[in-house]
């Protein structure tokens, strides 16, 4: 469970002279099954952990195209239709498909939503106690069943369970076409794909001795551990961490020390590039950072369409969070865990200032750890009483440096 906020912390981080105007939450989906079957001789490939998702089992979502807005489809969750996507014969009800949100994942996302309710509804009175205004929330997800379902659990399981919303309320989730999605990397960006490949090749040399160590430790299970072995290091990591998170027994060879080393190398191979180079962050997550910025500016500038909006939630993946936390200096060289989340809070000062930008502050939290961004540590770039509150001007300078001016041109691999 996330940590709770006592009254003293509430008074310090949410003082009377600041008014909370907008919260944006970006989260990884909840605990799931492995995306593909690996290590089947030591870890069972099919898990009986999906009893609460009968209608989602082995299915994907089909969408009716919105002729007026093809990039941002407004969907009533109860109106989705489904079809089979595999030929597995499941031995019993509740057996999960690969990559599916499990009952444990549903529960953890519900708990996360309840945590947000405690803070933003019960303690801060920022959100309404009962959900009746469709414009209060903005919900967005990548086009994967596990991200949709995680978002569903967070909102109508924890943030606004049935007793706190009207019977007529329909959850509306925005999504985008795959190659227009900004919540994950765009594989059509050739320059980004080149950089990812280069960092992958460099990782083979960087972790050569560590991989030999893992080969020795895991010899009873796999013949060799390499970044490109069969299964690869990352495929081993995905299987073992998913099993452990869902309380599936794993072989004794996977000690805490071994798992931590696998975590370090997998994270380095896949995500260190985001930490080390601004260019990779710009190309991987810059367009989504622009989405976050634009919603902030719509509130600051009192755009009528955003007047009622208070809480935006984006349901994504590890690949969504990794470049984001690198951008905000929260990258700890470990893989973002299931249901990890980044929060942006926009505040307006009740004091008089000469401009809207001088009148607003932004705070960033990662898994409830309040961050003090290096870009905001000069005295004129944060609130005089709280270094975690970036001035809006300093925050915009940081995020604007991560937003491509011409994404198509910067993606050219010249």
Q: What is the DSSP-derived secondary structure letter of residue 336? A: P
Report pLDDT for 345.
98
Report pLDDT for 335.
97
Report pLDDT for 259.
98
Yes or no: domain 7-31+104-184+278-402 corresponds to CATH 3.40.50.1000: no
Report pLDDT for 69.
36
The domain locations on the chain are: 7-31+104-184+278-402, 190-269
Q: Rounded to whole angstroms, how far apart are CA atoms 411 and 271?
A: 19
- Span 180-230, pLDDT tens digits: 899 999 999 999 999 999 999 999 999 999 999 999 999 999 999 999 999
Q: Rounded to whole angstroms, how far apart are CA atoms 304 and 319?
A: 33
Q: Rounded to whole angstroms, how far apart are CA atoms 15 and 335?
A: 34
Report pLDDT for 356.
65
* Cβ–Cβ < 8 Å for 71, 177: yes
Q: What is the pLDDT along the chain (414 residues), one digit of tens a residue?
A: 556 678 888 999 999 999 999 999 999 999 999 999 999 999 999 999 998 765 443 332 332 333 343 333 233 333 333 323 333 445 567 899 999 999 999 999 999 999 999 999 999 999 999 998 888 999 999 999 999 999 999 999 999 998 999 877 888 899 998 888 999 999 999 999 999 999 999 999 999 999 999 999 999 999 999 999 999 999 999 999 999 999 999 999 999 999 999 999 999 999 999 999 999 999 999 999 999 999 999 999 999 989 999 999 999 999 999 999 999 999 999 999 999 999 999 999 987 665 666 799 999 999 999 999 999 999 899 998 999 999 999 999 999 999 999 999 999 977
181 by DSSP, 3-state: which?
coil
* Cβ–Cβ < 8 Å for 373, 329: yes
Report pLDDT for 353.
64
């Amino acid at each position: 469970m996330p940590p709770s906020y006592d009254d003293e912390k509430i008074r310090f981080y949410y003082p009377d002279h600041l008014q909370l105007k907008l919260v944006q939450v970006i989260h990884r989906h909840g605990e799931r099954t492995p995306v593909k079957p690996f290590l089947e001789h030591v870890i069972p490939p099919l898990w009986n952990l999906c009893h609460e998702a009968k209608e989602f089992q082995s299915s994907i979502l089909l969408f009716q195209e919105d002729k007026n807005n093809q990039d941002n489809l407004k969907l009533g969750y109860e109106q989705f239709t489904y079809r089979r996507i595999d030929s597995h014969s499941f031995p019993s009800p509740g057996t999960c498909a690969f990559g599916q949100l499990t009952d444990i994942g549903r529960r953890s996302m519900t708990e996360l939503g309840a945590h947000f309710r405690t803070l933003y509804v019960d303690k801060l009175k920022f959100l309404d106690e009962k959900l009746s205004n469709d414009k209060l929330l903005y919900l967005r997800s990548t086009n994967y069943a596990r991200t949709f379902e995680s978002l569903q659990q967070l909102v109508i399981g924890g943030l606004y369970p049935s007793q706190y919303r009207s019977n007529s309320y329909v959850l509306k989730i925005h999504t985008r076409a795959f190659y227009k999605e900004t919540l994950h990397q765009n594989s059509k960006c050739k320059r980004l794909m080149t950089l990812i490949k280069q960092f992958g090749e460099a990782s083979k040399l960087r972790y050569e001795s560590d991989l030999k160590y893992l080969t020795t430790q895991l010899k009873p299970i796999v013949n060799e551990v390499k970044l490109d072995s069969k299964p690869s290091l990352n495929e081993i990591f995905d299987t073992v961490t998913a099993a452990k998170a869902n309380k599936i027994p794993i072989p004794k060879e996977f000690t805490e020390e071994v798992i931590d080393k696998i975590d370090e190398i997998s994270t380095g191979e896949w995500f260190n590039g985001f930490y080390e180079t601004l260019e990779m962050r710009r190309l991987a997550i810059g367009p989504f950072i622009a989405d976050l910025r634009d919603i902030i500016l719509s509130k600051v500038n009192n755009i009528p369409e955003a007047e009622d909006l208070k809480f935006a939630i984006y349901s994504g993946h590890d690949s969504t969070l990794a470049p984001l936390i690198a951008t905000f200096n929260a990258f700890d060289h470990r893989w973002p865990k299931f249901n990890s989340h980044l929060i942006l809070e926009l505040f307006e000062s009740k004091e008089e200032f000469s401009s809207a930008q001088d009148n607003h502050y932004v705070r960033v939290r990662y898994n409830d750890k309040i961050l003090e961004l290096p870009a905001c540590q000069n005295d004129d770039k944060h609130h005089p009483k709280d270094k975690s509150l970036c001035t809006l001007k300093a925050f915009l300078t940081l995020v604007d440096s991560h937003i491509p001016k011409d994404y198509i041109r910067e993606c050219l691999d010249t």
